[in-house]
Amino acid sequence: MQLEDSVQFLKGVGPRRGEMLEKAGLRTLEDLLFHLPFRYEDRRTITTLQAARLGGEVNVVGRIGGVREHRRQGRRGALLRALLTDESGWAELLWFHQTGYFKERLNEEALWLVHGRVEAAPRGGLQIVHPEIEAIGPGAGSAGDVRAAAAGFARVLPVYQKPGEIPIAAMRRIVTQVVEGLAASARSVLPEPVRARASLMPVAEALRYVHAPPGDADITLLAESASTAHRTLIFEELFALQIGMTLRKAERSRQVGIAMARSDERIRAYFERLPFVPTQAQRRVVNEIAADMARPQQMSRLVHGDVGSGKTVVAFAAALQAIAAGYQVAVMAPTELLAEQHFATMRPWAEADGIEIRLLTGSLRSAAAREVREAVASGHAQLVVGTHALIQQSTEFARLGLAIVDEQHRFGVLQRAAIHGGASSSGEQTVPRADTLLLSATPIPRTLSLTLYGDLDVSFLDELPAGRRPVTTRVIRTAARERLHERMAAAIREGRQCYIVYPLVEESEAMDLADATSMAEQLQAGAFREFRVGLVHGRMKAAEKDAVMRRFKAGDVHVLVATTVIEVGIDVPNATIMVVEHAERFGLAQLHQLRGRVGRGSLDSFCCLVADVGQSADSFERLRVMESTNDGFEIAEADLKLRGPGEYLGTRQSGAPAFRAANLVRDADLLTLARNEALAWLEQDPTLAKPESAELRRAIERRWSSVLGLAEVG
């Protein structure tokens, strides 16, 4: 039995179950060894049916009889019923799934340990639906003998996420095989001095503990993944990841870059032409970027800025330095709407400085796109703004010096890598890499930032421009919608404009939610019949969206009904009311982005989150976080805690590493400790050449090198 062996060859697995396990990412025995329980059941206390509490989970020893299987009228599948009796009473057992499996196991003569939740049966008495059962013996003897026989089965039992139709008990047996066969051979990735400082267990001992807790284990610590064994496995994983991230940062710093001389005078003149005074935060970040670009190493810098903090101003200043040095600049946005907005914003700045700027998106007609690509290939186009069309093979830059990626978290890792470029060799000559500037208007909590961007230099735009007022936010119930519409109409009569955002483009049979398309028609005919209502959503062609947005910006459209396509990029200072319908369907960070579409001028602005409290009281309370703060980083932390990293990042965040033991919300303290220890260890052993680093080096090569894009370890 080896760690790299396939799961298919384990006893009780076979091809069908093996396929289920592999689909769940459990391909090797090592995957199963580190497939930790997601919860534990305390089966150390055995009770009687008479003492069982409705709604509570019980461990009862008794005999099972009266097993019968019958078809359910009008429904697929069979129902299996059985009768459990002990010294104090009886309860009906029910199975709706895997009935054949359980029917085959049950024997009227046997004594069973039954675990499950006790409920009131519809026809009176007690019932336990889908209980777990373990055969104890033939069932002879007194009640005292029965309890003595069951004592050996009293323990804390691990419960694993199970793929497909594999029964819980079968999944437990599969993992137990691997733990018994391989846990002893597991080697710690932690150098001994690090393990000792952190007061952690040997990894083999930790694995045995989490998979088979001893009889005296603290069930609360197990449930919270806070036992020393859990902390050991979590720390090991985070330590190895942080070592890998730091090595990737070091690897990038060694890449040959382009030393572009600072253009302080040109940037100063650009700042003076702006119709506003740049903030001190903008000046500081521009200075950090300028210093990076002047070095002969490749720049990889992320600029975090809350909504409205002025990232575009900073990005154009960086572009000026590259263009002054004779290089081209590419600005890539995730949507055509945002690319067009950047182009519209940067165009007057570029023209005032004599810079040739072009727009390249997927919707450009072939002839127009070909003309732009020719201008890019010849070097005539100095600044190119676009979407993923910029990284298509048909787009070649004459002399790309700086790649700016906006809302970079919306791109997959491979897309970012494509525009990031790579140092390539031609004979003995190395072609320098273009500098990379990543922008994000989505504040990332520190715990995620350390994990996702630990290999980057990070700048923070933590100051809003003068005149920006905080947006007043209120959560309101659907019943107050009519009053809200009256308030919006009054604001429009005073010359203001409003947004209304819906979660769906069109009506859906699957979800009972209002949609943007039908509501735009209803609102135009009803509450806002004296005004002009516009509609924007992601299925519209770029030209159609642009036309509506131009009308809205010009004040010709009073109410813009939209989906989250307006989440980023739209700047209409006269719009002062943002209404989000079905707000309980959105994450807090996304709501903060939508709120950022108003309050972009000197006028008082409002955000109204309309929620159906009847659907979920918890969701309604969650939204109240938005009322208490306008700080994007506070909201991001709250969103992360509420939804967890997976949901917070979304399925498109393919750069997020998959963790076996760690949880970035729960384990923030261990992440910080692991990062500090990783940095300290690399100061002693920067290439992982010491014998104490051998297991660490192997673990990073095996698990993290492809995820992190490491060319080599050490």
Residues with Cβ within 8 Å of residue 235, at least 6 apart in sequence: 190, 198, 200, 670, 673, 674
Q: Which residues of 475-490 are buried (b: 16+ CB within 10 A; e: fewer)?
A: bbebeeeeebbeebbe
pLDDT score of 420: 47
User: Averaged in consecutive runs of 10 residues, what is the pLDDT profile of the chain (714 residues)?
Assistant: 84 86 87 91 85 86 86 73 88 85 75 88 87 74 62 82 80 92 90 93 95 92 94 94 85 81 94 91 95 91 81 94 95 82 91 94 85 93 88 81 76 44 42 83 66 74 75 90 94 95 71 78 93 89 81 92 74 90 86 86 89 66 85 76 58 54 83 92 92 89 66 49
8-state DSSP, 535: E
pLDDT given for residue 585 in this prediction: 85
Q: Which has the closest alpha carbon to 45: 229, 219, 222, 221?
A: 219
Say how many CA atoms lie within 13 Å of 415 toward its Cβ.
21
What was the pLDDT predicted at 125?
Answer: 87
The pLDDT value recorded for residue 346 is 94
Residue 546's Cβ-side half-sphere holds a number of Cα atoms within 13 Å equal to 14
Q: Which domains does the chain have, with CATH numbers?
A: 45-154 (2.40.50.140), 255-461 (3.40.50.300), 472-629 (3.40.50.300)
Q: What are residue 38's phi and psi, to 5 degrees?
A: -95, -15
Question: Quick one: pLDDT at residue 318?
Answer: 97
Tell me which residue of 293, 344, 348 sits closest to 323, measured CA to CA: 293
Both tokens of residue 485? Answer: 């519409």
Question: How many helices (H) does the chain have, and how many strands (E)?
Answer: 26, 23
Q: How far is CA 112 from the centre of its chain?
A: 43
The rounded distance, in Å, linking the Cα atoms of 692 and 142 is 59
Pairing of strands 78-85, 90-95: antiparallel
What is the residue-wise DSSP string for 472-516? EEEEEEGGGHHHHHHHHHHHHHTT-EEEEE-SBSS--SSS---BH
Phi, psi of 663 (to 5 degrees): -130, 120
Predicted local confidence at residue 414, as pLDDT: 37
SS (H, E, C) 540-579: CCHHHHHHHHHHHHHCCCCEEEECHHHCCCCCCCCEEEEE
Cα angle 712, 713, 714 (rounded to 5 degrees) comes to: 120
User: What is the distance between the terminal CA atoms of the chain, rounded to a whole angstrom?
Assistant: 30
Q: Please answer whether residues 312 and 278 qualify as being in contact, where contact means their C-beta atoms are separated by less than 8 angstroms.
A: no
Q: How far apart are CA 321 and CA 401, in angstroms?
A: 10
**Non-local CB neighbours of 463 within 8 Å, separated by 6+ positions:** 279, 280, 281, 282, 309
This prediction has a pTM of 0.66
